[in-house]
Chains A and B, each alone.
Chain A
Amino acid sequence: MKLDRPTRAQHSETIIALIDVVFFLLVFFMLIGRMDATAPFDVDPPFAITGRDMPAGGATLAVSRDGTLALDGTTIARTELDTALARALAQDSDLRLRVNAHRDAELRHVLPLVAIAEAAGIKDMVLVVTPASQP
């Protein structure tokens, strides 16, 4: 009895198609992803219907539910904020400050940040919101 060994198929074309697909996926994820420092605590931005598109760039100041601050992912004391902002402004005079406050954070923790940022010389400041649909 003679058993035939199955012939080996050529895989070169299949591998090239796989490389193409993987390359497309890789480029896709690299392009649409935006590297950003995340806060060391949970921040759920408030919902807003009339928000505008978020511009890229700038520093992010996160405010937790209990008022803890984090500048670009690093926890910072409120008393050190003006120094840190002045340092960031020295590197970029048109620095945009994005305030990413938790929706349940009390305004006594959030509103004074505007005065601190203004005193430090920030000229462009935005509040981060989550887009909500029309009711």
Chain B
Amino acid sequence: MASSVKLGRPRRSGPLISLVPMIDVMLILLVFFMVTSTYLNLDMIPAMRQQERAGGSGLASGGTVLIRLAADGVPVTQGRALSHDSLSALLTERLADDPLTQVLVLPSGAATTQALITVMDTATRAGAVRLRVIRLEAQP
């Protein structure tokens, strides 16, 4: 007596979890990140370094150029108001003679932050490696 065994292939079941809610959540997250993100291209200029503080004032060697920054943002050196091009030429000349020339910037309290950054930019582009901003403090 022959008996036949019938093997049934298990029926494929559909996906247990629907993809639609996941797509909804992902789209909501995507829109959230796209709307709330602000993309800023920012740089920085070091204002304080630990090794500088440890190394003392650094005034001992090399020449020094003192730049006063007037309230209107005009740099003044040795009593002469200079344009930024003239300042750059002066610093380039002084730094060619002595690359370790220290550049000191004494800004007026009424000058703007942009004016100070512009002078620092000019000095850095002229090749200054020793640049300091100094500030006068009132003593009682």
Could you tell me the distance in whole angstroms from the C-beta of B121 to the nearest C-beta in chain A?
5
- Whether the Cβ atoms of A104 and B23 lie closer than 8 Å is no
In the docked arrangement, what's the CA distance between A117 and B109, Å? 18
Note all chain B residues with C-beta closer than 8 A to A98. 44
Which of B34, B47, B110 is packed against the most chain A CB atoms within 10 Å? B47
B97 — which chain A residues lie within 8 A by C-beta? none
B33 lies within 8 A of A26 (CB):
yes
| Distance A118 CA – B53 CA, assembled complex (angstroms) | 10
Count, chain A residues at interface, CB 8 A: 51
What are the residues of chain B within 8 A of A99 when measuring CB–CB?
47
Q: Are B22 and A129 touching (Cβ within 8 A)?
A: no
CB pair B110–A48 under 8 Å, yes or no, is no
Q: Is the beta-carbon distance between A106 and B111 smaller than 8 angstroms?
A: yes
Q: Which residues of B contact A114 (CB under 8 A)?
A: 47-48, 135
The distance in angstroms between the C-alpha atoms of A67 and B23, with both chains bound, is: 47
Which of B4-12, B35-43, B58-66 lines the interface with chain A? B35-43
How far apart are B17's CB and chain A's nearest CB, in angstroms? Answer: 13
Most buried by A among B19, B23, B33, B137: B33
Q: Which of A32, A48, A54 has the most CB of B within 10 A?
A: A48
Complex Cα gap A22–B33 (Å): 12
Q: Does B26 contact A (CB under 8 A)?
A: yes
Query: What sequence of 0s and 1s flags, for each residue 106-124 of chain A, a beta carbon within 8 Å of any chain B beta carbon?
Result: 1110111011011000111
Nearest A residue to B123 via CB reads: A50
Q: Is the CB of B110 within 8 A of A106?
A: yes
Q: Which residues of A contact B33 (CB under 8 A)?
A: 26, 29-30, 33
A107 touches B45 (CB 8 A): no
* Contact residues of A between 43 and 61, Cβ < 8 Å to B: 45-55
- Residue A128 lies at the interface, judged by CB distance under 8 Å to chain B: yes
- Residues of A within 8 Å of B137, CB to CB, are 115
A125-B109 contact in complex given A45-B42, A46-B117, A107-B116, C-beta closer than 8 Å: no
On A, residues with C-beta under 8 Å from B are 15, 18-19, 22-23, 25-26, 29-30, 32-33, 38, 45-55, 63, 98-99, 101-108, 110-112, 114-115, 117-118, 122-131
9 inter-chain pairs at a CB distance below 8 angstroms, sorted by A residue, are: A15-B19, A45-B42, A51-B45, A103-B113, A103-B117, A106-B111, A111-B133, A130-B43, A131-B42
Of all A-B residue pairs in the complex, the 8 with the closest CB atoms, nearest first, are: A51-B43, A108-B109, A29-B33, A126-B44, A103-B114, A125-B48, A46-B114, A46-B117
Interface residues of B (CB under 8 A from A): 19, 22-23, 26-27, 29-30, 33-34, 37-39, 41-50, 53, 107-114, 116-118, 120-121, 124-125, 133, 135, 137
